[in-house]
Amino acid sequence: MSSNETGPLAGLTVVEVGSMISGPTVGRFLADFGADVIKIEHPEHGDHIRNFGTQADGTGTWHKYLSRNKRSVTLDISAERGQTVFRDLVSEADVLIENFRPGTLERWNLGYETLSAENPGLVMLRMSGFGQTGPYAEKPGFGTLAEAMSGFAYVNGFEDREPLLPPTGLADNIAALYATFSVMFALYHRDVNGGSGQVVDVSLIEPIFNLIGPFPLTYDQTGEIARRSGNRSTSSAPRNVYRTKDDRWVALAASAQPLAMRTFDAIGRPDLKDDPRFADNESRLENVEELDAIIQEWMTDHTREEVLEAFEEHDATIAPVYNVEDILEDEHYQARDAVVTVDDDDLGEAQVQNAIPKFSETPGHVEYLGPDLGEHNDEVFGDVLGYDDDLVAALESEEVI
């Protein structure tokens, strides 16, 4: 059973045979809210996320974050006997998460037709770079490629510089969000509408393409191709980041007319309200260089604290640009319990983002961080599947688990 038996997904069994970021992020979301997520890893090297990114005394922080609240079992599903064990596990599951290259599971006789024959209610989430169909389906796919081909990189950054990729797995995480609510749609169809299980096909490229806005519609209707605009907005002004007197940064957005007027009050320039260059949004966009220069000049004479106080006094919209240390020290994050401290055998006391969103009756929580490789072999193969000690020992000796 799940470690979180009070969450809204308590009683839901999920088998995750994903690697790196996208698939395991879906598993993390579900595990945070009570699903029993059984994470299958290769017996020799495990999920490559274990060795990805920063290592804290040899322990991968990405693994500890993404594998939290899950049960880790080892299984070589490329081996014939491993495939039998895999089918046994999936026959007990509500959801299967996989993010292999399309066709991989079929080569091992583990496609949806095979698995659903034994478990007709199975919801199978298939995540890949380009989806299960189309001319690019079998190409290797990674988040960076999706960020490039979705149009995101093209509009991200400054006009006189190269397109800018995000510093973390943005496409993977966006795809995981789409995939998570899509799985819940499929479960609703099965459990409430009396439907069957089904395949949910999520690519990395389409979710981020959907979130960048109405660019196709704009192009279709006007011929306009969205361009890079740095920290400015092409829809409203002022909107930018500004350096303060104490060499810190703030982000300002005044997307509505009243907010722009309050901004002028905050910087001590109420006269700008009547300046025809800045009187309305269209004029401000046409004269954005001059407007930004005026605001930056004022920022240069004030510390970040003074800037924030002035804007708060006038109910104008501004925020400090935080690094992670600022976030952990912020009273609002603390009041919301956005970060929790978890005891971990490898890291000791460790801080990590809490389960979100907040539920009034069935909240999620973080009970433990990513487990050791195969830590739950005995309880899953023994308690869940009912394998006796001799069978488990035989599978270990054959290096199947």
| Bond preceding residue 238 cis, omega within 30 of 0 | yes
- DSSP secondary structure of 59-70: EEHHHHHHTTTP
CATH of the domain at 293: 3.30.1540.10
113/170 same-domain check: yes
23/143 same-domain check: yes
35/158 same-domain check: yes
Question: What is the tally of structural domains in the chain?
Answer: 2
Q: 287 is in which domain, residue-wise? A: 239-325
Catalytic, out of 47, 76, 94, 172:
172
10 Å Cβ neighbour count for 219?
A: 12
Q: pTM higher than 0.75 for the full model?
A: yes
Q: Is 383 a catalytic residue?
A: no
Any domain includes 331? no
Any domain includes 348? no
Any domain includes 336? no
Q: What is the pLDDT of residue 18?
A: 86
Any domain includes 219? no
Q: How many residues does the chain have?
A: 401
CATH of the domain at 116: 3.40.50.10540
Any domain includes 119? yes
Q: pLDDT tens-digit profile of 294-353?
A: 999 999 999 999 999 999 999 999 999 999 999 999 999 999 999 999 999 999 999 999
Using pLDDT thresholds of 50, 70 and 90, give the confidence band for residue 2: very low
Residue in the block written with tokens 């801080």: 351
Q: Which helix H or strand E contains 297, and what residues bound it?
A: helix 288-300
206/244 same-domain check: no
Q: pLDDT tens-digit profile of 136-183?
A: 999 998 999 999 999 999 999 999 999 999 999 999 999 999 999 999
Q: What is the pLDDT of residue 4?
A: 55
Q: What is the pLDDT of residue 6?
A: 74
Any domain includes 233? no
Q: How far apart are CA 331 and CA 258, in angstroms?
A: 28
Any domain includes 161? yes
Strands (E), 346-388: 348-353
60/113 same-domain check: yes
Percent of the chain past pLDDT 70, that is, above it, reads 99
